[in-house]
Structure 1
């Protein structure tokens, strides 16, 4: 997991729920660094550097495309 790349950072876990579903459906290898820690101490998210989306290098381009498609203002599914 040391080769995984940080693609995005979130403050709280509810911000990326739809993204997890999309990644699981697409078979993208990923994990969220600091997810458990921030869920235990939610007011300390900024102190921990937030929750980092770490993506396998082979899936990085596909994952980035999914994030960009969710950021489209015409889409009904968006990342908060």
Structure 2
């Protein structure tokens, strides 16, 4: 997991829920750093730098395409 790269940062769990499902559906290797910690102490998100989406380097391009498609104005599943 040391080779994983940060693709995005979120403050709260609800901001990336749809994205997490899309990544699991596409079999993209990823994890959310600080997810459990922020879940236990929600107001600590800023102190820990938020919840970081860490993606395997070989899946990085595909993951970026999914994020871009969800941020497209025509998408009804936009992420925050």
Match runs of 1:1-80 below 5 Å = 1-80=1-80
Partners of 2:12 and 2:54 lie apart in 1 by 15
Gaps of 5+ in 2: none
1:27-70 C-alpha deviation (Å, 9 max, x unpaired): 00000000000000001100000000000000000000000000
| Normalised TM-score (structure 2) | 0.98
Give 4+ residue runs of structure 1 displaced > 3 Å after superposition: none
SS class of match (1:52) = strand
CA distance in 2, matches of 1:74, 1:63: 19
Q: How many residues align?
A: 80
